[in-house]
Amino acid sequence: MTKHDNTANVPCYSIYGLNVASDIALPAAALGDAVPDVYIRYGKVPQELDKTTFQNRQYQITQNCILVRKRAARFLVCRGSQITIDPAPQATEAVILYRLLQVPLMALLYQRRRIVLHGSAICVDGKAVVFMGQSGRGKSTLAAAFRSRQYPLLSDDICVVSLASTGKLLVVPGYPQIKIHRETARQIGISVDDLEPLPVDLKLEKYTLETTDNFVRFPIPLRAIFEIDTAHCDETRLTPLHGYEKQFALIGNTFLPGLVKALGREQSSFQQYAEAFRDIPLKRVNRPDCLSKLDSLVERLEGEWQST
């Protein structure tokens, strides 16, 4: 099998377990020569879709397509295999890329029946440890802190899980970057002068830490999950979750839960994976809500997997 003629000169990247031929450069993703699973192209995207099963200000959904509307561009995601980008006037490629790697690409993964957790993942002894939680809980901070201790990154903020033919869960590599705040960088000994700031149009005041030199580029088995939350406390508290508590924690930390609900997939994906998740330990982590306790948090978590 060969690539389609009209994509022969389009670079192909490896990201989230997919080979992606893309008109827009994915600078940190590895290049490959495999037959593409997905095509990302610039083109015309309609303002509205016909025969929608769901619509709101951000999405329109039909049986085969999802229209994602952002200020920087409209994205049409179809059949888990193609994303068409229609940029807005004056939109920069950096902002379009940031938006692409969030909602549109995750919508495509949902079309492909993947589970996507709001989490960051690192590699520990050849297996994935995931830190999941809502925005601002410290997922990227932990990923960066463990990377400084030579634990390779697998994904930041978005964690994609697939089910192997063996019935085991695999975490697939994401995009080799960590987005961190200035104070986080300072706490782990990184100068932001050496980092690329995210586009000012995004108003996120974060910096991009490239991780291509210490990044896992192949799927690895899922070892453990930690649900991160902050608390007004002096010490980190860990609580194992079982049964329905565990299931609710996983569903509650699904990435883009509104989109999952709109697609009618709130329960079905996790039911499909339920047996495999049953064997994965999940602990809730209530951590002090200050960066000064970061080192002790890292050491506590490190002790968890060293003792098992």
Most confident of the ranges 60-69, 190-199, 246-255: 60-69
Report helix, strand and coil shares of the chain as percent, to nearest 5. 25, 30, 40
pTM exceeds 0.75? yes
Q: Tokens 């580029």: give the residue.
A: 217
Q: Which two tokens stand for residue 202?
A: 């995004």
Look at residue 203 and tell me whether its pLDDT is greater than 90.
no
Instruction: Give the tens place of pLDDT for each residue, 98-137.
Output: 999 999 999 999 999 888 999 999 999 999 999 999 888 8
In this structure, of 86-90, 209-213, 276-280, 292-296, the range with the lowest mean pLDDT score is 292-296
Domain 116-306 has CATH 3.40.50: yes
Within 8 A by CB and 6+ apart from 125, the residues are 223, 305
CATH 3.40.50 boundaries in the chain: 116-306
Q: Tokens 């610039």: give the residue.
A: 42
> Residue 203: left (phi > 0), alpha (psi -120 to 50), or beta?
left
Within 8 A by CB and 6+ apart from 44, the residues are 84, 86
Q: How confident is the model at residue 1 (pLDDT cuts 50, 70, 90)?
A: very low
Instruction: Give the tens place of pLDDT for each residue, 146-187.
Output: 999 999 999 999 999 988 888 889 999 999 999 988 888 888
Q: Which two tokens stand for residue 168?
A: 């085991």
